[in-house]
Amino acid sequence: MLTKTRNGFCYDELSVGMAREFARKITDTDILSFAEVSGDTNPMHLDEAFARGTFFRTRIAHGMLTASFISTIVGTLLPGPGCIYLSQNLRFLAPVRIGDTVTARVSVEDLLPAKKRAMLRTTCSVEETLVVDGDALVWLPA
């Protein structure tokens, strides 16, 4: 019998429909730190005067900062430690602003037993607004 990996699941413990969520309030420090680590210094994220002159009228969080919360779930909760990302598709649908609480959600959509892979639905929302929509393929330990 297989046992759970730390805070996560092995392939044979997964079932279609399983889901986990992670939520985080976006702060100015989050955006500045992400810009520092990623090197993405687009003024849309860092310069309020610049951002005021754009369609969004204010600074917005990096899309990849928002999407990184999906990775938090995949790597730590579902499937969790030991799984390997094989692909991730993302569609950015709406902006995330400082002070917004992003809720990432990952659910198991399909299981591919021949190669111990799982297809996941991956989303991020701010309140009722879907801001990121996508899917991922991961490999899991047996």
Contacts of 53 (CB under 8 A, 6+ apart): none
How many Cα atoms are found within 13 Å in the side-chain-facing hemisphere of 74? 24
Query: Residue 1: pLDDT above 50?
Result: no
pLDDT for the residue numbered 142:
78
Query: Residue 2: pLDDT above 60?
Result: no
pLDDT tens, residue by residue, 27-50: 999 999 999 999 999 999 999 999
pLDDT tens, residue by residue, 74-94: 999 999 999 999 999 999 999
Which structure tokens are listed for 43? Answer: 């003024």
Confidence of residue 6 (pLDDT cuts 50, 70, 90): low
Query: Residue 4: pLDDT above 50?
Result: no
122, 134 contact by CB (below 8 A): yes
CA neighbor of 113 nearest in space, from 12, 13, 18, 17: 12
Residue 84 pairs in a beta bridge with: 139
Q: Report domain extents, the chain.
A: 11-139
Residue in the structure block whose two tokens are 């094989």: 86
100, 84 contact by CB (below 8 A): no
Confidence of residue 8 (pLDDT cuts 50, 70, 90): confident
- Give me the mean pLDDT over the 120-135 stretch: 98
Query: Residue 58: pLDDT above 50?
Result: yes
CATH architecture of 11-139: Roll (3.10)
